[in-house]
Amino acid sequence: MSSVVYNQVSKFYADGTKAVDALDLQIAEGEFMVIVGPSGCGKTTALRMAAGLEDISSGELSIGGKVVNALEPRDRDIAMVFQNYALYPHMSVFENIAFPLENQKLSREEIRKRVEGAAAILGLEEHLGRRPKNLSGGQRQRVAMGRAIVRRPKAFLMDEPLSNLDAKLRVQMRAEITRLQRQLGVTTLYVTHDQVEAMTMGHRIAVMRKGVLQQVGTPLELYERP
């Protein structure tokens, strides 16, 4: 079971800002949920709490049926993809993808198998020996995703992963992420301010405004009752 469940989750920052207000949201196993809303609505904070990068002020957050409020990021069995996908420039594509496996007790052979498996899914087989600077923007994005999937996490957390790409590539990567998510069947929480992205990618969409969840529904449901 790898659902992600927010139960009355709130976030107050030290300066008193109420960034997320009693969020109730259930992302089912294998579901692609998009949180959409304008800048400052609290969507990044909501995601960062699931990732363990931001403390939860009140409420309970569960991943895979386990309350994670007090767990370190590395113990949460999640993978995160950011807009700045921070690849290591001095490492090859292979080493970048393999990096999250370094601290696990895996044989060289098992690491090689996993990295090659991830590369095959992402169409990177031919590029494993290259450095990031010799890749296109789309290829770099794929390496970042390879690094995320190689550990076989319970959930993907993505924060505006496409916002640094040009318009054409963005449309292409939307389709690729959708395909990858379906192929792996991995529970996914994806944050964006882009409504078209939300509508084309999400199984369901959670609309936030000023820290408050406004509505949740499939693209069709939201489109029919705007």
C-alpha distances (whole Å) from 64 to each of 6, 67, 97, 203 are 12, 8, 24, 19
| In the complex, minimum distance from the CB of residue 140 to ligand ADP, in angstroms, rounded to a whole number | 20
Residues forming beta bridges with residue 58, ordered by sequence position: 10
Cβ of 177: how many Cβ atoms within 10 Å?
23
Written as six digits, the tokens of 56 are 């939860």
52 sits near ligand ADP (criterion: CB under 6 A): no
Q: Which of 17, 104, 183, 218 binds ligand ADP (CB under 6 A)?
A: 17
30 sits near ligand ADP (criterion: CB under 6 A): no
Q: Which of 5, 34, 36, 42 binds ligand ADP (CB under 6 A)?
A: 42
| In the complex, minimum distance from the CB of residue 13 to ligand ADP, in angstroms, rounded to a whole number | 3
Contact yes or no for 158/80 (Cβ under 8 A): yes
45 sits near ligand ADP (criterion: CB under 6 A): yes
109 sits near ligand ADP (criterion: CB under 6 A): no
80 sits near ligand ADP (criterion: CB under 6 A): no
44 sits near ligand ADP (criterion: CB under 6 A): yes
Q: Which of 39, 102, 108, 224 binds ligand ADP (CB under 6 A)?
A: 39
Q: What is the DSSP secondary-structure string of 56-120? A: -SEEEEEETTEE-TT--GGGS-EEEE-SS----TTS-HHHHHHGGGTTS---HHHHHHHHHHHHH
Point out which residues bind ligand ADP (CB under 6 A).
Answer: 13, 15, 17, 19, 37, 39-45
